């Protein structure tokens, strides 16, 4: 996700209770009015789309969070009257204040977007590009549809529907990368801190094929995805009720110890683990 300029006018309305086809999954806000809203997608799309979402900046342009941390996903955003592809991130993206900023997006699950967009994820690594450069008229038609909508819920619903139609005509996601994502997202059910060689052996594929498949589908190799998945486990656990120690949270998330957690948080987000307590837990 990136810091947008303006996608909607000041009449952009919110209906947190849902309406139409959407029911709120998650919302997070700050005292200054900055807000992030998230809805689940149609059940038929949930294996490939994590959610549709919207965000608005606060009264003085403050973003809903200081930075967006890596999540292994790619997003399609409606920003300033155009559709933008947010490629996979290897580091946090800081959001600068922007008065009147609005954004609506749809989030692909890890490894799914390249089959829909027709471009390897490695070409979009840490990038934000105009979607018309990748999918042509499909992006222009989507932007035209969204440009005439003033209800955030309707815009999110329309975006999910149109991207769902794109997916119906797309090929299957890379199966090797999908297998790696499944294993690395739940390492306690398999093994702690797996090597690429052991992961490839467990999947019955060669290391070279595994690395190539992950680069095409995720934008980077399996070890990078493992680091991001582990960070997300920590952020989710740190947001849960109760005040557990950082050392305990580190071990439960899969880190060797608290210093390991600290190094990884600084490398991937630019802040300490303590600064990530209570951070929004978004769908991925």
| Whether residues 162 and 45 fall in one domain | yes
Q: What is the pTM of this model?
A: 0.90
| Whether residues 135 and 200 fall in one domain | no
Q: Does 284 map to a domain?
A: no
Q: Which residue has the higher pLDDT, 202 or 6?
A: 202
| Whether residues 122 and 58 fall in one domain | yes
| Whether residues 77 and 154 fall in one domain | yes
Q: Does 105 map to a domain?
A: yes
| Whether residues 38 and 150 fall in one domain | yes
Q: Does 248 map to a domain?
A: yes
Looking up residue 202, the CATH number of its domain turns out to be: 1.10.10.60
Which of 123, 146, 168 is a domain's end point? 168
Q: What integer best gives the mean pLDDT of the chain?
A: 89
| Whether residues 179 and 164 fall in one domain | no
Q: Does 2 map to a domain?
A: no
pLDDT for the residue 161: 94
Q: Which letter does DSSP use for residue 128 in this model?
A: E
Q: Does 14 map to a domain?
A: no
Kindly list the distances between the CA atom of residue 171 and the CA atoms of 123, 176, 276, in Å, as whole numbers in the listed order. 19, 14, 37
pLDDT in tens, 183-197: 999 866 666 667 999
pLDDT in tens, 145-171: 999 888 888 999 999 999 999 999 999
| Whether residues 40 and 85 fall in one domain | yes
| Whether residues 57 and 164 fall in one domain | yes
Please enumerate in sequence order all residues whose Cβ is within 8 A of that of 213, keeping only pairs 6 or more positions apart, or say none. Answer: 174, 176, 177, 180, 205
pLDDT for the residue 22: 61
| Whether residues 222 and 120 fall in one domain | no
Total domains in the chain come to 2
Alpha helices by DSSP H, listed for 31-136, are 113-117, 132-135
Range of the domain at 225: 175-276
Asked if pLDDT for residue 178 goes beyond 60, the answer is yes
Q: Which letter does DSSP use for residue 27 in this model?
A: E
For residues 35, 233, 226, 259, the Cα torsion angle rounded to the nearest 10 degrees is: 110
Which of 146, 168, 190 is a domain's end point? 168
How would DSSP label each residue in 237-262? HHHSSS---HHHHHHHHT-SSHHHHH
Residues in the chain: 284
Which of 168, 195, 228 is a domain's end point? 168
| Whether residues 204 and 159 fall in one domain | no
pLDDT for the residue 188: 64
> Collapsing DSSP states into helix, strand and coil, what is residue 90?
coil
**Contact (Cβ atoms closer than 8 angstroms) between residue 165 and residue 176:** no
| Whether residues 255 and 151 fall in one domain | no
CA-based diameter of the chain, in Å? 55
pLDDT in tens, 208-248: 999 999 999 999 999 999 999 999 999 999 999 888 999 99
| Whether residues 197 and 133 fall in one domain | no
Asked if pLDDT for residue 14 goes beyond 50, the answer is no
pLDDT for the residue 129: 97
How confident is the model over 52-79, as a mean pLDDT?
94
pLDDT in tens, 100-109: 788 999 999 9
Q: Which residue has the tokens 């210093």?
A: 259
């Amino acid at each position: 996700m990136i810091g947008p300029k303006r996608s909607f006018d000041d009449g952009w309305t919110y209906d947190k209770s849902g309406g139409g086809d959407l029911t709120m999954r998650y919302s997070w806000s700050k005292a200054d009015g900055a807000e992030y809203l998230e809805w689940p997608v149609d059940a038929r799309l949930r294996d490939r789309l994590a959610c549709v979402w919207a965000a608005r900046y606060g009264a003085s342009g403050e973003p809903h969070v200081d930075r967006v941390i890596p999540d292994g996903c790619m997003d399609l955003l409606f920003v300033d009257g155009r559709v933008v592809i947010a490629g996979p991130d290897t580091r946090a993206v800081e959001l600068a204040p922007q008065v009147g900023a609005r954004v609506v997006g749809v989030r692909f699950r890890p490894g799914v977007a390249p089959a829909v967009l027709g471009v390897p994820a490695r070409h979009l690594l840490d990038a934000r590009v105009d979607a018309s450069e990748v999918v042509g008229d499909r992006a222009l038609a989507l932007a035209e549809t969204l440009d005439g909508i003033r209800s955030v819920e309707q815009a999110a619903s329309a975006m999910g529907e149109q991207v769902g139609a794109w997916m119906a005509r797309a090929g299957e996601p890379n199966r090797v990368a999908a297998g790696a994502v499944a294993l690395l997202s739940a390492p306690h059910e398999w093994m702690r801190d797996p090597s690429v060689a052991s992961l490839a052996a467990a999947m019955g594929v060669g290391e070279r094929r595994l690395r190539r498949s992950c680069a095409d589908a995720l934008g980077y190799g399996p070890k990078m995805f493992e680091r991001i998945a582990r960070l997300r486990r920590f952020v989710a656990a740190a947001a849960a009720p109760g005040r557990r120690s950082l050392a305990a949270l580190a071990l439960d998330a899969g880190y060797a110890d608290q210093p390991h957690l600290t190094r990884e948080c600084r490398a991937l987000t630019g802040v300490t683990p303590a600064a990530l307590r209570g951070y929004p837990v978004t769908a991925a």
